[in-house]
């Protein structure tokens, strides 16, 4: 058997009630939620009973997803499933970095709370939105974006899927261009043009926050959204710049597979990353946290 990777999901898969089953069944998960509640009162309530609209607010989404994902990862470790490598999509990269040991959980959670606040503040300054463009090549999407002043390709997810962010007033026309080219633009459940120049101010302020953090050496190999390669000693730079730069997810996954990873476990409330990885390489094994029984029976514990 090859290497195991935990991949932590980003915004978009959140839903009311997420994480409640983990909280109720596992002491390790309950401990994570309780710590998050001490640092940010009401986090568990938002996860378990918050409305879809409440969870869609970036300042809420990010800390809530952190708590669910970190709790799920701890449960897997408790059950003997530990990764050889980790990565996270956008927000998930902060969770992955925390899990990998770059920072203590309390610092990681505080950072993700601040990140969510800054990105929401940046998003509220402009009417922006995001969409996943499917059925077109990366090059086709990049060419269509170049026809607009403020529409950007921001997430290179998998073959035939690129997320785009931009001014809402331009996105409608862009979607029509996509349709005419034979593709489809699917609106995403986020509020803001993430990983685009609209997030530059948030990235700058977050960089200042990160400059105050004493990063430690990671315990497992951690991959970067921005470079698609393992982290070096530049964690603050990578975590700040990824806010306003594209996520190279397909390249990242291909790098992990080339390094020996053949089993991916998605850590999060959905299966978005699992689906993407299947389109990148259908031969690798893919699981979500909801597949816990399958993971325990098919993945060799460490």
For tokens 């001490």, the residue is 38
Q: Measured between alpha carbons, how far is 289 from 3 in angstroms, rounded to an integer?
A: 18
Name the nearest CA neighbour of 243 among 279, 213, 208, 276. 208
* Residue tagged active-site, from 9, 67, 163, 195: 195
The one catalytic residue among 9, 90, 196, 240:
90
Question: 39 CB contacts (<8 Å, ≥6 apart)?
Answer: 106, 109, 110, 113
> 90 catalytic, yes or no?
yes
Dihedrals phi, psi of 18, to nearest 5 degrees: -65, 135
H/E segment holding residue 249 = helix 249-258
Cβ atoms of residues 33 and 19 within 8 Å:
yes
- Residue whose pair of structure tokens reads 């002043």 in the numeric block: 149
The answer for residues whose C-beta is within 8 angstroms of residue 124's C-beta and 6 or more apart is none
Q: What is the largest CA-CA distance in the chain?
A: 53
65, 93 contact by CB (below 8 A): no
Give the integer Cα–Cα distance in Å for 45 and 48: 5
Task: Say whether 146 is catalytic.
Answer: no
- Residue positions annotated with a catalytic role: 90, 195
């Amino acid at each position: 058997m090859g290497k195991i990777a935990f991949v932590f999901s980003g915004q978009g898969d959140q839903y009311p009630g997420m994480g409640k089953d983990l909280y109720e069944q596992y002491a390790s998960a309950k401990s994570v939620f309780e710590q998050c509640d001490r640092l940010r009162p009401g986090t568990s309530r938002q996860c378990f009973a918050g409305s879809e609209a409440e969870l869609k607010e970036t300042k809420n989404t990010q800390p809530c997803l952190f708590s669910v994902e970190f709790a799920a990862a701890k449960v897997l470790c408790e059950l003997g499933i530990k990764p050889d490598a980790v990565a996270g999509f956008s927000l998930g990269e902060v969770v992955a970095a925390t899990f990998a040991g770059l920072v203590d959980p309390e610092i990681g959670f505080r950072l993700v709370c601040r990140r969510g606040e800054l990105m929401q503040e940046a998003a509220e300054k402009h009417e922006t939105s995001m969409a996943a463009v499917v059925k077109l090549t990366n090059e086709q999407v990049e060419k269509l974006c170049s026809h607009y002043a403020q529409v950007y390709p921001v997430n290179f997810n998998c073959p035939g899927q690129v997320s785009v962010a931009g001014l809402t007033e331009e996105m409608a026309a862009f979607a029509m261009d996509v349709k005419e080219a034979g593709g489809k633009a699917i609106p995403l459940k986020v509020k803001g043009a993430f990983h685009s120049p609209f997030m530059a101010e948030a990235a700058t302020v977050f960089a200042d926050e990160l400059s105050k953090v004493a990063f430690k050496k990671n315990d497992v190999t951690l991959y970067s959204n921005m470079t698609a390669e393992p982290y070096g000693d530049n964690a603050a730079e990578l975590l700040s710049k990824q806010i306003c730069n594209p996520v190279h997810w397909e390249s990242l996954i291909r790098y992990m597979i080339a390094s020996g990873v053949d089993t991916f476990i998605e850590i999060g409330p959905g299966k978005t990353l699992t689906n993407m990885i299947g389109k990148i390489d259908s031969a690798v094994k893919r699981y979500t946290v909801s597949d816990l029984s399958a993971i325990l029976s098919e993945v060799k514990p460490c």
